[in-house]
Structure 1
Amino acid sequence: MQDSSFLSIDPVERSVSLDAGHPGFYQAPNPVYAALHAQTPTFYWREQRQWFFTGYDLVNSLLRDKRFGRQILHIASREDLGVPEPLAHTRHFDKAEEWSLLELEPPEHTRLRTLVNRAFVSRHVEKMSGEITDLANRLIDEFEPRGETELLSSFADIIPVTMIARMIGIPDAMGPQLLKWSHDYVGMYMFKRSRADEEAADRSAREFAEYISSVIAERRREPRDDLLSHMIHTEHKGQFLTEEELISTTIVLLNAGHEATVHQIGNSVRIILEEGLTSGLDPADLFRDAGTTERTVEECLRICAPVHIFQRYCLEACEIDGVTLARGDKIGLILAAANLDPRKFENPLTFKAERNEGANLSFGAGIHFCIGAPLARLELNIVLPLLFKRLPGLKLAASPQVKDVYHFHGLERLDLTW
């Protein structure tokens, strides 16, 4: 048994008590994941009242396992499962999520994803590289003469939301409002969310949906060369997306298209600078060419992933790694911990840009593999080397503080000087 002020592991019972709101955990989750790998990679998290899995091979297979899904009410009723009725004060959020790509299973998921997938294939995304480079350079131009900046607000917040909004067909000027709605929206995914979090998410979901509905009306009248027009006017097997499907899909694309990438830019810059302090690593060596840049980006995604947990429902009774699960049980797959499995990655808590030990699971796997992964990777492969090239001597001006938003992992702010 291992004990601390926020963590207790019983490897015999495969039971863990872990306070997700304790700074000792959410500010530095990797050592906790290492302890779980050492003692019980599959465990029952007592505070969350469900089973969690951290092993790389197991998480990878469960993400693809058709016995598990993102929804359960398509095969069973609330009464059958003992699931409570939806909360009245989150009805707008629930409606906005009703047709979310992240929540659906086939055949609905297949139909929606087919309609949007073409916009996110690499050859289309790569056409945006010039725009990403221009925007990044313009932002650096604004703060470079000052010799200091808070990178999230001046850079990381702006690029991903601007690019996904442009792809969909939302004006750049809406960026700050989209960020506010999105921050409120993802509050629903936090552990131990409060009533205030739920009300803020519901309010923003309503405003978000009303705005998207107005843009849909404009695109119906005057289609443009953007993803929203494409989704409105393209049919799949004789069917068009409904208004509700268009709203849900647009919201999830806007949220997923930037929220995690903002965190990953900050996390990546932090780990590179801290690694430079501890091991004398020269960032220039990480970005010598396209190959080294790509490996560096993937290592950053592996060791400091922005999204830590993906939840799944058990669709049929089964046994996984000795755990008996009933239909309707919910499980947690800890993607960030799977990235640190010592059976997959040698010295997994060590940053090694030259790794070639297999893919990280930061974007998931299977049918719910992140549709925005090509765009996120392109943004990271452009903006990270550009930052270190344009700002030689870049260093931390203060100790970075991590947001208390587990199971997302990102910084409150990142103060830099050069």
Structure 2
Amino acid sequence: MTILPDFLHINPQTRHVSLDGRNPAFYSDPNRVYALLHEHCPTFYWEEQRQWFFTGYDHVNGLLRDRRFGRQILHIASREELGLPEPLAHLENFNLAERYSLLELEPPEHTRLRTLVNRAFVSRHIEKLRPEIAKLAERLIDGFEGQGETELLSSFADIIPVTMIARMIGIPDEMGPQLLKWSHAYVGMYMFKRTRQDEYAADRAAGEFSDYVKGLIAERRREPREDLLTHMIHTEHKGQYLTDDELVSTTIVLLNAGHEATVHQIGNSVRVILESGLPPADLFRDEAATERTVEETLRICAPVHIFQRWALEDVEIDGLSFKRGDKVSLILAAANLDPNKFSDPLAFKPDRQEAQNLSFGAGIHFCIGAPLARLELNTVLPILFRRLPGMRITRTPVVKDVYHFHGLERLDLAWRQGSPAL
């Protein structure tokens, strides 16, 4: 019989689970809990969250694509009909910034916005950025290589994704630190048990972020450039252009989604590779090996764990009845550990040839920035391990208390100085 940790209580008969999402014993090592959920009840009611959650690969994959569920509900029913409270007054700026977010819309609005943006993120366009990403990574490493040690998130991981997505949109490099501050405050809205202070910080960041983007939009209308923002302003879809509010929401979601998860994933990937003990020279021996290594790090330590959806009609899933307006949660990171799809799922095995990980989602809301994130990881990780031979972790990494995101507070590294390892 499996012994559960003290902070986890599972009733397989009722499929009810009690678990504090802000408990460090959980968010520091969520994979251990996910494995227990797979063993006892992969579909469960999380008592503290008052919601049903799915962890099974087939259920998560299916629900991501199921058009009976959506990211939006108020387009088919009123708050009064659904018994939903009115929006909080102190979140006015945040709610306005989210109103036209690609992550929150359903067709036809989602189709129109995504069509206007998607061309810039297809793989053949993104691939052209590889030399620029590599050059940035090499320059950052030049700045700390001679010291023999660094804190990788602040010196490397934080900088690359925000710089690249900002350049694509048309934002100067020097805005990077401010964009990070806005983004960190903004995504505080998605944390479990967020505080009123978190909400005030997110709303303030949303207001400042929006004002900055509105200024950029005005500039690009006067002086168009070869960047994504200009493209979004001046490109039409079936005779329609994006409104200023749509442009603000889309720019903010692209900036946040374009770097927040990748920052976490660079740190997560380096950690899992170093802790695996596998030789980097083998993991990054060629392009194919590098791609397999990156996909395995995305599978075993995904940066975003939960994606929520509304039931758009009455529906039954896994023996459970949901009514229109019910919300369900899909744990992407747990689906990546389903023992029915992955052998020895808690082990880091880059040579796997099993199911595709679900870290970027699926269906119409598949992460638009996935090609960019994958390119950044496939480019910078081999450079990092080549330039810093014998890299090792010098302080036990601490995971951020930001569940349902998963990333490190810091990653302290040291290496031997000498000839390259790869």
Per the alignment, residue 92 of structure 2 pairs with 91
Once the two structures are superposed, the pairs formed by residues 269-284 of structure 1 within 5 Å of their partners are: 269-276=270-277, 281-284=278-281
Paired residue for 1:348, among 333, 345, 348?
345
How far apart, in 1, do the equivalents of 2:234 and 2:409 lie? 40
Give the SS at the match of 1:76. coil
Q: How many angstroms apart in 2 are the aligned matches of 1:2 and 1:313? A: 34
Aligned counterpart in structure 2 of residue 292 of structure 1, from 270, 289, 293? 289
- 1:54-73 equivalences in 2 (<5 Å): 54-73=55-74
Alignment of 1:219-230 (within 5 A): 219-230=220-231
Q: Aligned partners of 2:329, 2:396: CA distance in 1, in Å?
A: 31
- Which residue among 380, 403, 412 is the counterpart of 2:409? 412
Q: Quick check: 1:311–1:331 contact (8 Å CA) kept in 2?
A: yes
Encode CA deviations 1:296-341: one digit per residue, 9 max, x unaligned: 0000000000000000001001110001101100000000000000
Whether 1:339 and 2:339 are equivalent positions in the alignment is no
How far off is 1:147 after superposition? 0.1
> SS at 2:184's partner residue?
helix
* Residue type at the aligned position of 1:124: H
Pairing 1:232–2:233 present: yes
SS for the counterpart of 1:312 is strand
Q: C-alpha distance in 1, partners of 2:398/2:142? A: 26
In structure 2, distance between residues paired with 1:6 and 1:67: 34
Give how far 1:5 is off: 2.7
Residue-pair matches, total: 414
Superposition map of 1:382-401 within 5 A = 382-401=379-398
Q: Are positions 1:328 and 2:329 aligned together? A: no
C-alpha offsets along residues 100-135 of structure 1, whole Å, 9 cap, x if unaligned?
000000000000000000000011101111110000
- For 2:276 and 2:242, the matched residues in 1 are separated by 47
AA paired with 1:406? Y
1:332-369 deviations in Å (ceiling 9; x for gaps) = 00000000000000000000010110210000000000
> What is the RMSD of the two structures over their aligned residues, measured on CA atoms?
0.7
2:361 is aligned, of 364, 369, 374, to 364
Give yes or no for contact 1:2–1:9 (8 Å, CA) kept in 2: no
The C-alpha deviation readout for 1:272-293, integer Å capped at 9, x for no partner, is 01111xxxx2111100000000
Amino acid at match of 1:57: D
Identity of aligned pairs, percent? 76
Aligned counterparts of 1:131 and 1:282: Cα–Cα separation in 2: 27
The runs of at least 4 consecutive aligned structure 1 residues that moved more than 2 Å come to 1-5
Partner SS, residue 17 of structure 2: strand
C-alpha contact 1:71 1:313 (8 A) present in aligned 2:
yes
* Match of residue 127 from structure 2: 126
Q: Counterpart of 1:7?
A: 8
SS of equivalent residue, structure 1 residue 125: helix
Distance across 2 between alignment mates of 1:126 and 1:225: 17
Unaligned runs of 5+ in 2: 416-422
Amino acid at match of 2:223: E
Following the alignment from structure 1 to structure 2, what is the Cα–Cα distance between the partners of residues 319 and 123?
Answer: 40
Which deviations, in whole Å up to 9, do the C-alpha atoms of 1:141-179 show, x marking residues without a partner? Answer: 000000000000000000000000000000000000000
Measured after TM superposition, the shift of residue 3 of structure 1 is 4.6
Which residue of the partner structure matches residue 164 of structure 1? 165
Q: Report the equivalent of 1:319.
A: 316
Gaps of 5+ in 1: none
How many Å apart are 1:4 and its aligned residue?
A: 3.2
Cα offsets for 1:56-78 (capped at 9, x unmatched): 01100100000000010000000
Deviations 1:160-216 (A, max 9, x none): 000000000000000000000000000000010000000000000000000000000
> Does the 8 A contact of 1:102 with 1:368 survive in 2?
yes
* TM value normalised by structure 1: 0.98
Give SS of 2:413's match. Answer: strand
Alignment partner, residue 264 of structure 1: 265
Alpha-carbon distance in 1 for matches of 2:255, 2:154: 18
Partner letter of residue 300 of structure 1?
Answer: T
After TM superposition, list the pairs within 5 Å mapping 1:57-206 onto structure 2.
57-206=58-207
3-state SS in 1 of match to 2:321: strand
Code of the aligned partner of 2:331: I
Relative distance call for 1:318 and 1:2 in structure 2 (3 A) is farther
Amino acid aligned to 1:35? L
SS of alignment partner, residue 53 of structure 2: strand
- The one-letter code sitting in structure 1 at the alignment partner of 2:106 is E
**TM-score (normalised: structure 2):** 0.97
SS of aligned partner of 1:257: helix
TM superposition shift of 1:2: 5.9
- Is the Cα–Cα contact under 8 Å of residues 191 and 407 in structure 1 kept in the other structure? yes
The amino acid across from 2:321 in the alignment is: T
Does 4-13 or 248-257 show the bigger shift?
4-13
Q: Which residue of 1 aligns with 2:375?
A: 378
